[in-house]
Structures are given as structure tokens and as C-alpha cells.
Amino acid sequence: MITISKKVEYGLMFLTYLTKNKGVVSLNESAKELNLPYRFLAQIVGKLKTGEILDSKEGKGGGYSFLSGWDKKNLYDLMVALGEDRRIVKCLGNEGSCLRVDRCQMRKVWGKIEEGLIDKLKEIKLTEIL
């Protein structure tokens, strides 16, 4: 079965925490409050910043907040930002990864399933789940 990674799970937990606490939140405080590993959360938050979902402010009173326009992002955008947009089967990514690609009857089926999954993830706005 397709699973959601800890990166995505913890990323959503952090974003939910940020939504409830409105404004700028400290990473250290968030990690403690959510009982998440600080270093791992820091990596996740860094990717969400690069993915244009979060903004950061350094110094006293610093922390993380939502970047303007984050409300237009969807669940697929979050997964891409976290590097979790992997193929459901390896052969869909690289033409040369399977010796049976030219005669495989399942490749089209996997492709349809993946396309449908991506479409559904794109339909779910982050604002709907936070």
C-alpha cells in the first residue's frame, strides 16, 4: 500500500501547529510542544521554506510563519517540497529501469493509478486540512 512518510506527517503537524498559534512560531518551542525530533523538524521546515510554503525570521522574536500565497498550495505541493513525490513503481520514472518496459501490461495501469493519485493530491488545498 502507498504510505505517507514521516516527513509529510511531521510537516503537516508543524503547519497545523503554526495555524493554531497564528503568527511566528519558534522551531525549538514547536518541536517540544509537538514532541518531534528537533533536527528532523528543522530539515522539514527548511524544505517547506524552499518550497515557498513558509517564511522565516531570525533573531529575537524570530521563527517561522506562512509565506504569502501559501493558501494556494495543495497537498501535492507539500509532498514535492519535501521530496516525497516518488513514483508508485520505479519503472514509471526511468525508461531504462525495467527490462520488460516494452512488453509490460501493468505499466499503463500503474501510470493511470499514479496520475489519479496526483490529481487527487492536487485537489486538496492545504487550507482544507489545516
Percent share of the chain, pLDDT over 90: 68
pLDDT for 80 equals 94
Task: Write out pLDDT tens, residues 89-129.
Answer: 777 776 666 777 778 888 888 889 999 999 999 999 999 99
Q: Which residues contact 86 (CB under 8 A, 6 or more apart)?
A: 93
Whether the pLDDT of residue 69 is over 90: the answer is yes
- Burial profile 35-59: b = 16 or more Cβ within 10 angstroms, e = fewer: ebeeeebeebbebbeebebbeeeee
**Confidence class of residue 50 from pLDDT cuts 50, 70 and 90?**
very high
User: 12 with 129: CB under 8 angstroms?
Assistant: yes
> DSSP strand E in 2-130: where?
54-57, 63-66
Which pLDDT does position 128 carry in this prediction? 94
pTM for the full predicted model: 0.87
- The fraction of the chain above a pLDDT of 70, given in percent, is 96
Beta bridge partner(s), residue 25: 64
User: Which cell goes with 56?
Assistant: 522565516
Architecture of domain 6-129: Orthogonal Bundle (1.10)
Q: Return the pLDDT at 40.
A: 97
Domain ranges of the chain: 6-129
Q: Which of 74, 101, 5, 75 is nearest to 44 (CA)?
A: 5
